[in-house]
Amino acid sequence: MNRRDEQALHERVARLLADPHHADHPLHEALGALAEHCRSQQQQLERLISISDRYQQLALEAREVTQKRYERSLRRQQKLSRISDGYQAMMRERNRALYQASTHDPLTQLANRRLIDERLRQLDTTERDFTLALLDIDHFKAINDRHGHDVGDRLLVAIAGTMREVLRDDDLCGRWGGEEFILVLTQTRLDEARRIIDRLRERVSAVTITRQGESLSVTLSAGISEHFRGERPLATLQRADHALLDAKRSGRNRCRVAARE
């Protein structure tokens, strides 16, 4: 029975009880008591429904409040995460910049002595074969004296760029000091190293910069030494330095290979 039919039934019973013709009916009293009981039950049910509706409304409001608090907390957490991610990215970039500054020459962006020393220690620890080459720009002091250090710096930067283009990915090129460069050629024997250095010298000799309409170019002298198992990297470097001195004493613009001592 739906609510409308139930209401119609209650109204019909109420009319019967109110009709004086049925006042003496033997079921009048019982029907009145039953009707009163039904009204009482209906009122109690309506109160329970009202309480339930209010409880559900309160639960819904509490849920909405909790949801809003959760969303605010989530937004704060997301904001903090973005701040943290940005801070970590900034720290990574700063650490990268600090490492770059501590391991590379500020003018040419080539490896500096610190990074070269690290690479040599690694190669010595892993016992990997390598060849060292020291290169010196011929008569570089005369260029600085005649044209100024700014022109000399431009020339160093141009030569450094050429070296990066010629060398292989596994090779390491560094500025050893002033106009001197060092190459660490991994897994490279003397014959191959000699070809690499000759190709590099040829490319560098083609590098020109212009100063007040005058084109300037330079040549390189080089000394090469192959590292032998059990030899200290410093000893290999010293042999390359001796070979470089030999190339310069022999007239420059040439390459000399160090003999094993």
Taking the C-alpha atoms of residue 228 and residue 240, their distance in angstroms, rounded to an integer, is 13
Ordered DSSP codes for 58-105: HHHHHHHHHHHHHHHHHHHHHHHHHHHHHHHHHHHHHHHHHHHHHHB-
Q: 3-state DSSP: the chain helix, strand, coil percent, rounded to 5?
A: 65, 15, 20
Pair of tokens at residue 78: 């997301």
- What whole-number distance in Å separates Cα of residue 135 and Cα of residue 108? 15
H or E element in which residue 238 lies: helix 233-249
Greatest CA separation found in the chain? 147
Dihedral angle sign, alpha carbons of residues 143, 148, 154, 156: positive
Name the catalytic one among 29, 64, 165, 179. 179
Bridge pairing between strands 255-257 and 220-226: parallel
179 labelled catalytic? yes
Q: Mind telling me the catalytic residues?
A: 179
